[in-house]
């Protein structure tokens, strides 16, 4: 039996199709001239874009508009002036087009791989996908046609990229297995969107599994069984049938309000990273947006998004939610999230360094552009501002003063601005410990359990040696959460949770007991979270 990380629920039973990576060797390519190499590069970019547009169109039919947007993002990346100019500089220095593509893409991959935030690290897979596709085009190598795999296939690859996903016929694919990837990687997101069971991070899967092997892929547990007997197959088929029934039953919660078993009203919101993600939240019955991670607007580009670009993003989400609450987290960047054009200084311990609200308060013009964009967008919906990584009352005071300044500037310019509530993410032990004081200064709390767990337990969640300590059910973490909720209730302000804990079946009963008002989860977890809440008393 092989073991990985189950990232898309369900049991897939079928025959292995192992996708081996072809050698992208360009050592025989001879440099002619800078002009010719640049012409080859430009032609490859054009081919890449046309091909990717076609795949995105197919992916939109298979998975949805949000998932197709991942591939549109690939087109934006390859057109990025900074990336293109870097490749052209490599060519001017004597590199063939293939070497220019590989060198620049590898630089970006190294940059993102060094970031501790998992959502940022998933960019490595995107850029690898772009690099390999560009090299195949330049070398004239045909990609594996996943649309031609027979019914009953279990796809096994080193990585399962968005461009690969767009080519497959989902009705022919029983499951997906890959050697890399995690819960928030694009391969996981796409598998869940298409309803295909998937297990990622399976060491040496392409060597351990052979073409034609009979496989059972358990997306719940992350287990992969090879050559199972008839009795085992029958058991898993029954389990899959039960899961299909459960999924059908969950759909009924899409049209229902979130109410506990004893009739207490709660709310289940969705977390998003980009404006296009809002559609998935709406489709799954999300009652609001509990976390809009705005840093993604600043990434994968050569320059800061303008105030106008940000305004368009925030107002788009506000309009899509049609009056329902949208909580926008201000820019959460710093030493752990490298953005080249911001020249963020490298730090020895970035998670304890110059990041989030600390960085923004020290770069007030950048911060004001974002705040003005949010305030302008407030005219189109029910927006709230949330400050990340707060550790002191002074940070809230300073941010509120800046927000007031932005309001005054906009009003002086004749721009209508609504009153926008200002709350904080409670994701540090400091904020939890003084949550009674901060509750008097904030309009709402949202508990960020991902960072809070790491900070309280003094654990780097990426360190396998101590990963067992990174558990939201650890008593010190539970005590910090309980203290925060109870202090919010005493002060009469709403309190939500936007970390992974909001969808944790073990934690939800305690959150209801303590009085949590709002649960913000990934779009795919909204209905399941609502069901769990409906079965509990508050």
Residue with token string 């305030």 = 375
Measured distance CA(42)–CA(297) in Å, rounded: 26
Tokens representing residue 408 in the block: 């005054």
Report the SS3 class of residue 265: strand
The DSSP symbol for 381 reads: S
**CA 383 to each of CA 175, 327, 331, 454: distance values in angstroms, whole numbers, following the listed order:** 40, 6, 16, 29
Q: Could you tell me the sign of the dihedral formed by the alpha carbons of 204, 210, 216, 219, in that order?
A: positive
Give Cα 88 distance to the centre of its chain.
31
Which of 74, 105, 186, 406 is the catalytic position? Answer: 186
278: exposed, middle or buried (C-beta count within 10 Å: 0-12, 13-18, 19+)?
buried
Tell which residue, 255, 302, 353, has the closest CA to residue 76: 302
Helices 475-491, 449-457: inter-axial angle, 10-degree rounding: 130
**CA 418 to each of CA 379, 407, 415: distance values in angstroms, whole numbers, following the listed order:** 6, 9, 10
Report the SS3 class of residue 17: strand
235-238's contacts with Cβ under 8 Å and 24+ in sequence apart are 236/11, 236/13, 237/11, 237/13
Report the SS3 class of residue 173: strand
Q: Does the annotation mark 186 as catalytic?
A: yes
Host H or E run for residue 290? strand 289-293
Q: Could you tell me the sign of the dihedral formed by the alpha carbons of 81, 87, 91, 96, in that order?
A: negative
Which of 11, 360, 406, 498 is the catalytic position? Answer: 498
Q: Does the annotation mark 354 as catalytic?
A: no
**CB neighbours of residue 199 within 10 Å:** 31
Q: What are the φ and ψ backbone dihedral angles of 452, each rounded to 5 degrees?
A: -60, -45
Tokens representing residue 36 in the block: 């010719």
**CB neighbours of residue 432 within 10 Å:** 23
Measured distance CA(344)–CA(217) in Å, rounded: 43
Tell which residue, 318, 426, 320, 290, has the closest CA to residue 374: 318
Catalytic residues: 186, 498
């Amino acid at each position: 039996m092989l073991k990985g990380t189950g990232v898309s629920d369900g049991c897939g039973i079928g025959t292995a199709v192992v996708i081996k990576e072809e050698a992208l060797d360009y050592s025989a390519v001879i440099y002619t001239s800078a002009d010719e190499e640049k012409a080859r590069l430009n032609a490859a970019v054009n081919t890449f874009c046309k091909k990717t547009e076609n795949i995105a169109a197919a992916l939109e039919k298979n998975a949805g508009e949000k998932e197709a947007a991942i591939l549109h993002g690939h087109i934006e990346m390859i057109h990025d002036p900074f990336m293109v100019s870097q490749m052209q500089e490599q060519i001017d220095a004597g590199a063939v087009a293939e070497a220019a593509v590989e060198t620049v893409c590898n630089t970006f991959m190294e940059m993102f791989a060094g970031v501790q935030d998992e959502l940022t690290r998933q960019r490595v897979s995107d850029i690898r996908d772009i690099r390999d596709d560009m090299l195949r085009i330049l070398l004239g190598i045909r990609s594996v046609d996943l649309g031609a795999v027979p019914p009953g296939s279990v796809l096994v690859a080193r990585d399962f990229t968005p461009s690969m996903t767009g080519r497959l016929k989902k009705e022919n694919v029983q499951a997906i297995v890959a050697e890399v990837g995690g819960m928030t990687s694009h391969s996981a997101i796409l598998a869940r969107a298409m309803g295909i069971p998937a297990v990622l991070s399976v060491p040496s899967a392409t060597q351990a599994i052979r073409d034609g092997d009979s496989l059972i892929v358990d997306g719940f547990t992350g287990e992969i069984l090879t050559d199972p007997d008839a009795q085992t197959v029958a058991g898993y088929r029954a389990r899959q049938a039960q899961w299909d029934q459960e999924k059908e039953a969950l759909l009924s919660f899409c049209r229902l309000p979130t109410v506990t078993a004893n009739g207490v009203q709660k709310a289940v919101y969705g977390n998003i990273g980009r404006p296009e993600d809002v559609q998935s939240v709406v489709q799954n019955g999300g009652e609001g947006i509990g976390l809009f991670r705005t840093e993604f607007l600043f990434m994968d580009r050569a320059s800061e998004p303008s105030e106008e670009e940000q305004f368009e993003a925030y107002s788009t989400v506000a309009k899509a939610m049609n009056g329902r609450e949208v909580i926008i987290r201000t820019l959460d960047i710093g030493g752990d999230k490298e953005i080249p054009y911001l020249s963020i200084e490298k730090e020895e311990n970035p998670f304890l360094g110059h990041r989030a609200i600390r960085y923004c308060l020290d770069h007030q013009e950048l911060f004001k552009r974002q705040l003005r964009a949010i305030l302008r967008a407030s005219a189109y919906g029910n927006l709230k501002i949330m400050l990340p990584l707060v550790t002191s009352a002074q940070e809230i005071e300073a941010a509120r003063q800046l927000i007031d300044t932005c309001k005054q500037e906009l009003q002086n310019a004749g721009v209508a601005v609504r009153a926008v509530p200002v709350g904080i993410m409670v994701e540090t032990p400091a904020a939890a410990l003084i949550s009674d004081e901060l509750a008097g200064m904030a309009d709402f709390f949202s508990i960020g359990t991902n960072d809070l767990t790491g900070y309280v337990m003094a654990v780097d969640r990426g360190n396998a040696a101590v990963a067992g300590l990174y558990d939201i059910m650890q008593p010190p973490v539970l005590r910090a959460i309980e203290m925060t909720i109870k202090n919010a209730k005493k002060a009469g302000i709403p309190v939500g949770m936007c970390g992974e804990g909001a969808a944790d079946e073990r934690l939800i009963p305690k959150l209801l007991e303590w009085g949590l008002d709002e649960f913000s989860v990934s779009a795919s977890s909204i209905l399941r979270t609502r069901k769990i809440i409906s079965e509990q008393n508050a």
